[in-house]
Amino acid sequence: MQLNKFTDITLLLKSLKAKKPSFQRTSHQDSGTEYFNFLDQANLLLNKEYQNYNQFKLVSYQEKLRSTDVEELLLEAYKKYYLRIDKISSLVFDQLKSYLPF
């Protein structure tokens, strides 16, 4: 029987049902928190570099969301915010006001 990644994750979660991951550091020898180690053991980490852990990049595997999806959603959000008539007029007004001597 061929198992997909979601089925593998489900089986792993069921096997670890009694041991829930937490955000507490377990010891000084570990590379991260229990949650980080849990994701690492489950092969769900896409990136282990600390500088890439922010709201703009996915660092763990998501079944229905890819890294490119996040970038597209972020770009769409920026467009909706900065291309509003109120925002554009405010930016233009601020630029014009900066040239006038008061």
User: Amino acid letter at 20?
Assistant: K
User: pLDDT tens digits, the chain, 102 residues: what are they?
Assistant: 445 555 566 666 666 654 555 555 444 445 677 888 888 888 888 878 777 777 777 788 888 888 888 889 989 999 999 899 998 999 899 999 998 876
For the question of whether the overall pTM of this predicted structure is more than 0.85, the answer is no
User: Amino acid letter at 13?
Assistant: L
So where are the chain's domains?
1-54, 66-102
**Strands (DSSP E) found in 7-76:** none
What is each CA distance from 3 to 10, 42, 69, 95, in whole angstroms?
11, 15, 25, 59
Tell me which residue of 18, 7, 67 sits closest to 42, measured CA to CA.
7
